[in-house]
């Protein structure tokens, strides 16, 4: 009988804990694919780059910026230029690049995509 008397008290503690876990757990776990890295900040201070795989964060305290390491293509607009012998030439180009250091791409440049285009 003592177990039955303690059951309501146990349930009153268990339900809020379960609700709290359901709310906090999705915010604390991140999954990064093979071609992604996460740059982690704790209270605004850089912790470093992590990944790929399962990443655990402290909710509200940690922030993660997800970086894609795959090759990005940017099409450059057509431009007409003059050669040395004054012949007009139309140039069309495509730029291929990829992020090698995700930490530097996040911290040292405000928007690395805009900086490369």
72-101 per-position pLDDT tens digit: 998 889 999 999 999 999 999 999 999 999
pLDDT bucket at 110, cuts 50 / 70 / 90: confident
Do the Cβ atoms of 69 and 97 come closer than 8 Å? no
What pTM was estimated for this model as a whole?
A: 0.73
Domain residue limits, the chain? 2-116
64-80: per-residue pLDDT in tens?
999 999 999 988 899 99
- Where is 13: in which H helix or E strand? helix 2-28
User: How many CB atoms sit inside 10 A of residue 106's CB?
Assistant: 20
């Amino acid at each position: 009988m003592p177990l039955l008397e303690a059951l309501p008290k146990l349930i009153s503690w268990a339900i809020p804990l379960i609700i709290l876990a359901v709310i906090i757990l999705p915010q604390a776990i991140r999954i990064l694919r093979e071609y992604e890295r996460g740059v982690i900040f704790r209270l605004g201070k850089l912790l470093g780059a992590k990944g790929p795989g399962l990443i655990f964060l402290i909710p509200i305290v940690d922030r993660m910026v997800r970086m894609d390491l795959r090759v990005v293509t940017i099409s450059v607009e057509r431009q007409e230029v003059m050669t040395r012998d004054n012949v007009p030439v139309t140039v069309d180009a495509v730029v291929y690049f990829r992020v090698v250091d995700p930490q530097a791409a996040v911290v040292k440049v405000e928007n690395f995509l805009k900086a490369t285009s």
